Amino acid sequence: MTKIAFIGAGSTVFMKNLIGDALLRPALADAHIALMDIDRARLDESALVARKLVASLGTGATVSATTDRRAALEGADFVILAFQIGGYKPCTVTDFDIPKAYGLRQTIADTLGIGGIMRGLRTVPHIWAVAEDMRQLCPNALLMNYVNPMAINTWALTARYPDIAQVGLCHSVQGTAYELARDLGLDVGDLRYRAAGINHMAFYLSLEARDGNGWRDLYPALREGYQAGRIPLESHWNPRCPNLVRYEVMQHFGHFVTESSEHFAEYVPWFIKSHRPDLVEQFRIPLDEYPKRCEEQIAAWGAQAEALKIAPRIEHQASNEYAATIMDSIVTGTPSVIYGNVANDGFIPQLPHGAAVEVPTLVDANGLQPTVVSDLPPHLVALMRTNLNVQELTVQALLHQNREHIYHAAYLDPHTSAELDLRLIRALVDDLLAAHGDWMPDWCRVQRAA
């Protein structure tokens, strides 16, 4: 029997999507699902939903629920991570409110920037703790990480626990393909593409659509449509988040990035400037978007969870997440290709060894086999390095418990350094470390006088 451990299963709707995907696969339909969360009430809700999902789909799967992480991990074949250390309140709110007082505005703050650095410092020690338990309880299991900041987490995990098989998973590549197909009036199933880079800063190196018996390059249509003002279309999922930033970047860098405009705007120094409100207006950049989204998602997911609890049956349609595809390919040997975040072992030769890179990855009974991508254009490599600097210094701070490297990471962050001077950045870091208090590792805490 395959055992799937889900750490952070209190996210009921996300758990339902990933576990539902797995149960639709015949090879996983009789798996044991071990749900774990520190919040007993939310865990019990998720367990109720999971068991109802099993009954509705008529599979032979079994479900257990525990607040004991080691019990969930023992004997697991696959481990899914989906937690947020410190939660929306207080930590996400803190990551927005304190920088805002310094005049530093953010949109999402979960990947890079001052918010991404703080989130990485809070999160990595807990991922390391999972990896330590896995060494003892399920050393051959595959860890599938959905936790942000993805690149920092992946880099830090493989640096300290290289023996743990792991992959960081995101839906930005396949999600963006759908958006581009929609902009051009195409079926996403008629697209083929090749992308590579780092998480949230990978680019489509080729993007084509079926054209009779051949394939047509879509970049000319994207450029012409943007210049003519026909695309991007209004967002199909969030009216606050148009795709103008990404199309503008494509015009200057020649390739389309795989992460959303609201994310990308804060990874670079060109769009969010306190002295240029016209840019924020022109590109419709949703400042403070993540707190708004959290409030909406908490309400929506809470309502969905309640509806799922009382529903006599729970139906499920496969999502575009990769976890079930990976597990099915490993169990059955049926090959698949996903976009995975892995430690760079020559997979992108132009980027540092050990960094987290996002590349096409073959999955079969032999596990994950990342593809080598050696043809990234030099200007895209240079752009990625501006983000890798921040990621690497945050990882070095964690590995060596060196608080100075936290400041160094913040000094070199493209958006932060475009707005604040060195002394203000240092003061901002200190204020954030002090405000986060016990959510931070002991070695980097800052005490502030009352």
Residue 369, SS3 per DSSP: strand
Helix (H) or strand (E) holding 221: helix 219-228
- Give which of 126, 113, 169 is closest to 319, Cα–Cα: 169
> Amino acid identity of 192?
R
Cα(357)–Cα(347) distance, integer angstroms: 8
| Unique residue bearing structure tokens 């016209």 | 278
Give me the count of residues in the chain.
450
Cα(203)–Cα(223) distance, integer angstroms: 15
Cα(269)–Cα(276) distance, integer angstroms: 12
Cα(243)–Cα(260) distance, integer angstroms: 7
Residue 227, SS3 per DSSP: helix
171 is catalytic: yes
**Structure-derived torsion over alpha carbons of residues 287, 395, 147, 71, reported in degrees to the nearest 10:** -150
Kindly name the residue from 171, 236, 263, 379 that is annotated as catalytic. 171
Burial (CB < 10 A; 0-12, 13-18, 19+), residue 290, is buried
Residues 6+ apart with CB under 8 A from 401: 441, 443, 444
> Amino acid identity of 258?
T
| Unique residue bearing structure tokens 């003892």 | 136
Residues 6+ apart with CB under 8 A from 252: none
Q: Are 378 and 203 within 8 A, CB to CB?
A: no
Helix (H) or strand (E) holding 23: helix 12-23
Known catalytic residues are 171
